[in-house]
Structure 1
């Protein structure tokens, strides 16, 4: 094996990779750095991205064939696997599976900008069109749980009575106050999915060969100066494309306070390329009715899946709770076929016949009273702007790197207070350890498309960073 420059060896070891794999490709890189869930290598033949993944061999072969299919359909910047010196598309090593692709240079989209957000939605549609029949070209497809199934698995945790003790922290008290409301919203969304016959949509999509990207986030797109390129095919799986679209909107609309105008622009950009069928619009409305962000923060806290302190969890949950009503209002405004019904109070998710005209719950966020600098107490407003939507940017399951900052630098418009209370004047808002304002700043609670096998992960993507 050819010796590698010491800095390259250090980077590979830090990323848990074995430098022996480079010899499989005959590479002697002069520089290396961690990037895009792998290691960027600068070589005499150009920049390359080496990735290590932990998945069955059949699963990686499915990803390889998907990239080949996308390239054959004319999509730009497809991460095609570079074959090693033995002609194999990837390397099977005792430390994992490795594959090599060309590096695509460019800028990531800024999801805080409406123009970039709409452009990303259009690119997602183009990807879906190109991959619309991919499943029919392969002999094997991975199993994939639908998003409603994963949401249903979270419902028992929300429905479990968990009265906080006198020694419980502030997050536990806040969660106890909103738990029933969150469970009711989740039951409503699951019943809406049943009304939309999501199970049949999922089965038909698989039979027709439709494919989901699985992790369509801003780190998976690059603008090269004249076109957008969709990268990162590791999480692709058979399923209804509307699931990708729903997760994309759940992730980035909070940065725009779930503005109906922004939602309409994103949907218009998507449908300009791939119009949605009525059944898909109904399913999309059902998926967007789920309180994904709030549920994910609660699960993170229950399983201590994030290295946050109590204040950071509070910031995340408060900011997400404040957007529950604006989110549902935007869905009802933009999607004409959104479900205009809810489960009757006290009905179980399986009680399909117990429906009443929807009267969305107003989620009361408890008012926190604390001492100000002058010793007087004031009500801490429970309202806050939409957080910037931080998400884990790690790619493979063993990644623990986090996105360095929020999606947009500007603060999102302040939504109306669910409780109608206003903060008393003259009192500075509380700040957590990371400097986020309890009463209006960006919180850390971006939706993480976590590994579905992780106890705190509802969505496909990277595992939440470990402590």
Structure 2
């Protein structure tokens, strides 16, 4: 098939079609209710972000910049007060999959490199090479030590820190040369080097919308201390990207598309990244796991509120999982994946609001490349669509913004549209919540999240039907 290039007129017709039934009074009232809650929402992390943070086993994020965990904006153009822009903000915890993200150990972190002793004659005689430590350095060392980091890591950089602040596993280090985010990670030195090479490749091909890694005195992108690995990135001031803003969602789609194209042909001898092209296997595994969870819920003698809600959704969840697996096995999908794997780009694979910073110049900066690997770009596109659609109550405008801005970089092919449909059809949010809870990580928010998923089901199903019809029309 030839790639499908949509015109603005075609997409606008689809938006009117998809929104035809959504514009009735109940939906208008729903939007008004959501807008009335923005004040409260701005003070708290989003439900999905909280859920994701709670289910994350680690907090190792390459390229973390400051991004406020509570930014909210449903208007097409995000706004912020002067105070908002001046306040540094930090991206939320990485969403590394539980099975791939062992918890980062933060324990004693090399007790040999604790706060240096106060200088004195005895100390100087015992260690004449040690430099006197001033009060500023002591305060910085205290922050680093309290975070469980080895204080000697700072000495590996050329920095002269004037202050430091611990925030969500990151040390914000302020220096005359600029601000940096220092992280302790469970990534290997080879993996960090892989990301450094990836950034160099992307920059060479015109993509610079990321937080670059800082190099040590020896020119390395990481520092090792015993079993721990550390890295630092440039600190990006700004706000966490807002997936409720159609304008920002469009910007994110465009940045992702540019990143995907700029990284095609990238290779690195530092680390062998595992490709993620077997989407049939991925969806089948998730489908089978969902079936096992539902069977376990049905066997419970004393089900709680989560269990009963899950069982109410069970028929629809099974149907969606089956449909998703059937769609991804279509000839068009298999043909595209086979062709794309010959010269793949790099996917981010952790598309959440906290991993995109809306900076002071109103640009979107991509951060946190922990999970980045060779994969079909539809994985990032589908993740962005699903999360933004959830926050915008499955409004077709979010999909229109994603597709339109993404398509300006490289035309979305028919096979990619089919894959996006398959990925959106899978009941990811319900599966993720149930999977986390049935693995023993129980939390009260999970009941509310599952009921929120249940309340959105009619609009989700209506959107998916409209999307499938539109893709069929465009491909005919």
TM-score normalised by L of structure 2: 0.64
The equivalent of 2:455 in structure 1 is 322
Q: Are residues 275 and 37 of structure 1, via their aligned partners in 2, closer, same or farther at CA, if it must alter by over 3 Å?
A: farther
The equivalent of 2:13 in structure 1 is none
1:282 aligns with 2:418: yes
* Paired residue secondary structure (2:239): coil
The equivalent of 2:324 in structure 1 is 189
* Paired residue secondary structure (2:466): helix
* Paired residue secondary structure (2:289): helix
- Of 159-168 and 52-61, deviating more is 159-168
The equivalent of 1:295 in structure 2 is 431
Greater helix content: 2
Which of 311, 334, 339 aligns to 2:467? It is 334
Unaligned runs of 5+ in 2: 1-129
Q: Deviations over 1:281-317 (max 9, x none)?
A: 11111111111111111112111335x22xx222111
1:111 aligns with 2:111: no
Which whole-Å CA distance do the structure 1 matches of 2:337 and 2:142 have between them?
45
Unaligned runs of 5+ in 1: 341-467
Q: Are residues 97 and 199 of structure 1, via their aligned partners in 2, closer, same or farther at CA, if it must alter by over 3 Å?
A: farther
Contact 2:207 2:259 in 1 (8 A): yes
Contact 2:246 2:397 in 1 (8 A): no
Q: Are residues 226 and 249 of structure 1, via their aligned partners in 2, closer, same or farther at CA, if it must alter by over 3 Å?
A: closer
Which whole-Å CA distance do the structure 2 matches of 1:87 and 1:262 have between them?
43
Q: What does 1:18-37 correspond to in 2, within 5 Å?
A: 18-35=150-167
Which of 83, 91, 95 aligns to 2:223? It is 91
Q: Deviations over 1:327-383 (max 9, x none)?
A: 23323323557589xxxxxxxxxxxxxxxxxxxxxxxxxxxxxxxxxxxxxxxxxxx
Contact 2:159 2:177 in 1 (8 A): no
1:252 aligns with 2:388: yes
Which whole-Å CA distance do the structure 2 matches of 1:96 and 1:183 have between them?
42
Could you tell me how far 1:181 is from its partner in structure 2? 2.6
Q: Are residues 173 and 164 of structure 1, via their aligned partners in 2, closer, same or farther at CA, if it must alter by over 3 Å?
A: farther
Q: Are residues 275 and 10 of structure 1, via their aligned partners in 2, closer, same or farther at CA, if it must alter by over 3 Å?
A: farther
Which whole-Å CA distance do the structure 1 matches of 2:458 and 2:191 have between them?
39
Contact 1:285 1:339 in 2 (8 A): no
Which whole-Å CA distance do the structure 2 matches of 1:336 and 1:36 have between them?
44
Q: Are residues 7 and 331 of structure 1, via their aligned partners in 2, closer, same or farther at CA, if it must alter by over 3 Å?
A: farther
The equivalent of 2:274 in structure 1 is 143
Which of 171, 175, 181 aligns to 2:310? It is 175
- Of 14-23 and 142-151, deviating more is 142-151
Which of 190, 193, 213 aligns to 2:348? It is 213
Q: Are residues 42 and 147 of structure 1, via their aligned partners in 2, closer, same or farther at CA, if it must alter by over 3 Å?
A: farther
Contact 1:32 1:42 in 2 (8 A): yes
* Paired residue secondary structure (2:229): strand
Which whole-Å CA distance do the structure 2 matches of 1:339 and 1:92 have between them?
53
The equivalent of 1:265 in structure 2 is 401
TM-score normalised by L of structure 1: 0.65
Could you tell me how far 1:320 is from its partner in structure 2? 0.9
Which whole-Å CA distance do the structure 2 matches of 1:93 and 1:278 have between them?
49
Which whole-Å CA distance do the structure 1 matches of 2:329 and 2:381 have between them?
19
Which whole-Å CA distance do the structure 1 matches of 2:208 and 2:215 have between them?
19
Contact 2:215 2:221 in 1 (8 A): yes
Which whole-Å CA distance do the structure 1 matches of 2:192 and 2:327 have between them?
34
The equivalent of 1:68 in structure 2 is 200
Could you tell me how far 1:36 is from its partner in structure 2? 7.2
Contact 1:164 1:172 in 2 (8 A): no
* Paired residue secondary structure (1:282): helix
